[in-house]
Amino acid sequence: MIKITTIVENTAAKAKFRAEHGLSMLVEKDGQFILWDTGQSDCIVHNAKILGIDLSKIKTVALSHGHYDHVGGLEYLLDYTSPAIYAHPEIFRKRYSKLSDDGNLRYIGIKDRKFYEDKGAQFSLSAEPVEIFNGIFTSGFEDMHTDFEEVDKNFVYEKEGEYVKDYVEDDMSLVIDMKDGLFVLFGCAHRGIINIMDDIENLFGKKVIGFLGGTHLGPASENQRKRTIEELKKRECVQIMGPSHCTGMLMSSTLFCEFKDRVIFNNVGTVVQL
Ligand SMILES: [Fe+2]
Ligand SMILES: [Fe+2]
């Protein structure tokens, strides 16, 4: 049995939890824990306590990409444990988002590798898929091939003193390989959920049967939203959709109207058992 508990998300169904713009989910399999992202602050510590999750037992972390709302909670987690951390080598880019057309930039990256290592983090960086534990893999680099999915236009990063477009090449997903198909956890899915699902299906030779996590459909173009829904309609094998985080309320509701009981509103405290 696999149990996935959402610890940090933009919304929370109960008042005792804290919500923040961010994401963190705990995967439990055969008594082992894999933490998928950490949210942006100490929210993870607050919510884990209420959920009865002992953070000192988390020895493995996988990070979806180097944005503050997915890695910001890591420094607080490191007060409790010194885990192995799986991520893509480009996760430490100095990255920014354009605030408006006047060119103002907001820092949306994470801290330096050394900062986390000094607190006990042990990084294992790879652009290839890695089996973290018994049938649970990182996706590795996600190829982009659809003509309607694009990386957020506002993202740039600092490269040799210049700001260049950030295609978030470090974006990865977590793949749970099960007998009847693949269950996928997204971070923000910056490279497009259809791209990512196609890629993973090609890699594993199996169909995706469900997903949880950020889809970045909230800030996406109207065309990308529409075409993504059209593509999801062709994928009847996707029986569980848990859009979260950067999907936003409006797009999550749209998905619910389209796909009804196949959609879960995944927020703090949601538990999915596979
Ligand atoms: Fe995000
Ligand atoms: Fe992101």
Number of neighbouring beta carbons within 10 Å of residue 223 = 12
Predicted local confidence at residue 13, as pLDDT: 87
CA of 188 to the centre of ligand 1 (A): 5
Best CA proximity match to 186, nearest among 242, 229, 230, 136:
242
pLDDT at residue 101 in the model: 66
**Nearest ligand to residue 151 Cα:** 2
CA 26 to ligand 2 centroid distance, Å: 18
Alpha-carbon torsion (268, 23, 224, 140), positive or negative? negative
What pLDDT shows up at residue 20? 98
159 pLDDT exceeds 80?
A: yes
Name the phi and psi angles at 29, rounded to 5. -145, 130
Mean pLDDT of the chain, nearest integer? 97
Whether the pLDDT of residue 99 is over 90: the answer is: no
Check pLDDT > 80 for residue 132. yes
Compute the average pLDDT of residues 75-87.
Answer: 98
For ligand 1, a single-atom ion, the residues with CB < 5 A are 69, 188, 246
Predicted TM-score of the model (pTM): 0.97
By the 10 Å C-beta count (0-12 exposed, 13-18 middle, 19+ buried), 65 is classed as buried
Q: What average pLDDT does this structure show over 119-145?
A: 97
How many angstroms does the Cα of residue 170 sit away from the middle of ligand 2?
10
Q: Which ligand is closest to the CA of 70, given by its number?
A: 1
| pLDDT computed for residue 153 by the predictor | 92
Single-letter amino acid code for the residue at 229: I
State mean pLDDT over 213-226.
97
- Ligand closest to 69 (CA) is 1
For residue 151, the CA-to-ligand 2 centroid distance in Å is 10
Ligand number with the minimum distance to the CA of 22 = 1
pLDDT at residue number 80 = 98
Cα–Cα distance for residue pair 234/72, rounded to 1 Å: 36
CA 110 to centroid of ligand 2, rounded, Å: 11
Q: What share of the chain is helix, strand, coil (3-state, %, to 5)?
A: 25, 30, 45
In the reported structure, the alpha carbon of residue 69 is separated from the centroid of ligand 2 by a whole-number distance in angstroms of 7
Measure 16 CA to ligand 2 centroid, in angstroms.
26
What confidence score (pLDDT) does residue 146 get? 98
Ligand nearest to the CA of 152: 2
At 54 the pLDDT is 98
Q: Distance between CA atoms of 188 and 117, rounded to whole angstroms?
A: 25
Fold designation for 2-267: Metallo-beta-lactamase; Chain A (3.60.15)
pLDDT band for position 12 (cuts 50, 70, 90): very high
Q: pLDDT above 70 covers what percent of the chain?
A: 99
- The closest alpha carbon to 113, from 95, 83, 129, 91, belongs to 91
Percent of the chain with pLDDT over 90: 97
CA of 246 to the centre of ligand 1 (A): 6
Residues 6+ apart with CB under 8 A from 14: 268, 269
Distance 111 CA to ligand 1 centre (A): 16
Query: Does residue 21 or residue 99 have the better pLDDT?
Result: 21
pLDDT at 26 over 80: yes
Is it the case that residue 186 has pLDDT exceeding 80? yes
pLDDT at 19 over 70: yes
- Whether 3 shows a pLDDT value over 80: the answer reads yes
Residue spans of alpha helices (H) in the chain: 43-51, 68-71, 74-77, 113-118, 193-204, 222-233, 248-259
How far is ligand 1, taken at its centre, from the CA of residue 204, in Å? 26
Distance separating alpha carbons of residues 86 and 60, to the nearest angstrom: 8
Can you tell me the mean pLDDT for 52-75?
98
